[in-house]
Amino acid sequence: MGSFNQQFIFSLLIIGLGYLLKRTHWFKDNDGEAVARVIFNVTLPALIVVSFHNLVFEPSLMLLVVAGIVFGFLFAYLGIRLFRNESKGIKGMLIMMLPGYNIGLFAYPLVEGFWGADGVKYFGMFDVGNAFIVFGLAYLLGSFYSEDDVTFTVKDMVKKLSNSIPLVTYFVIFILNFINFSIPDLILDTASILAGANMPLSLLLLGMYMNFNFNKEYVRLITKYVSIRYGVGLFIGILIFFFLPIEMMIRNTLLIGMILPMPLSLLPYSVEFGYDKQFVGTTSNVTMLLSFFLIWMIGNFVF
């Protein structure tokens, strides 16, 4: 347990450094976008290559892919039912925000510190299903309820998915494993060096995105959103962890996965569809802080 708490302390210090550098204007807002592009397009794909290049496929791991998709549709359904009395713009924004998880930036650096490459493997499988929800279903829901006349086709969805370099990397690595192709050591060694930067860069970026300016008008909606997301997520995660007779690491993944924050990709979605981007940004910060606290609590009292 000491190593678990130590990892949290290290993570908090790096997040705090990112926040401090932003507050002291060493980093500007657009610097965060540049760091995010480096993470999503370079260090995260490198981490996937290193973690999955010698993956021995186990049918049980497919449960995580299916879970990522099923939970996304479950939360979308709950959003449609529970936010139906809100105005169209608010309803669309909240429904879009409910499914999907921030795995690439939030979960990976913590998981890598707790469980190493083995943990990344499990959360990576969960992220494959989650990617279809974040880049497909959430985008579809956001466009459907948008005040603007936004059209969405299967072609648009496929384009969104194919533009996700981490998701494409997953599929390429899975295909290479399936045909028993060994990646050259030179590529693996290079990817390993790049992957080592993923954790600190991701944590720094989380700090740069932290914002404690809070609009009191958002309290009702954020409270309702958080209650549904975390109330249902904790309930399902605890049921799975204590009562499903499946591999322990899969249970760990699903328990932590159900309380991860909302994906940061919803911020550009909110701009594209004309939603309140300040509300989305504020809620994203609330979910990151809440998820961080809940994972620490679970790590100390459950694992």
Q: Whole domain around residue 295: which residue ranges?
A: 2-301
Q: Does 33 score more than 70 pLDDT?
A: yes
DSSP string for 74-120: HHHHHHHHHTTTS-HHHHHHHHHHSS---IIIIIHHHHHHHHHHHHH
At 270-287, the pLDDT tens digits run: 877 888 887 888 898 889
* pLDDT (0 to 100) of residue 2: 52
Q: What is the CATH number of the domain that holds 259?
A: 1.20.1530.20
Q: Does 161 score more than 60 pLDDT?
A: yes
Q: What is the average per-residue pLDDT within 219-232? A: 94
Q: Does 264 score more than 80 pLDDT?
A: no
At 71-85, the pLDDT tens digits run: 999 999 999 999 989
Long-range contacts of residues 30-39, Cβ cutoff 8 Å, at least 24 apart:
31/208, 32/205, 32/208, 32/209, 35/201, 35/204, 35/205, 35/208, 36/105, 36/205, 36/264, 38/201, 39/104, 39/105, 39/198, 39/201, 39/202, 39/205
* pLDDT (0 to 100) of residue 110: 80
At 189-215, the pLDDT tens digits run: 999 999 888 888 878 887 887 777 777
* pLDDT (0 to 100) of residue 149: 55
Distances (CA, A) of 12 to 204, 207, 239, 296: 10, 9, 29, 11
Q: How confident is the model at residue 303 (pLDDT cuts 50, 70, 90)?
A: low
HEC string of 4-19 equals: HHHHHHHHHHHHHHHH
* Average pLDDT of the chain to the nearest whole number: 84
* pLDDT (0 to 100) of residue 50: 85
Structural tokens at position 263 = 């994906």
* pLDDT (0 to 100) of residue 203: 81
C-alpha 157/C-alpha 166 separation (Å) is 16
Into how many domains does the chain fold? 1
Distances (CA, A) of 280 to 123, 201, 245: 25, 23, 37
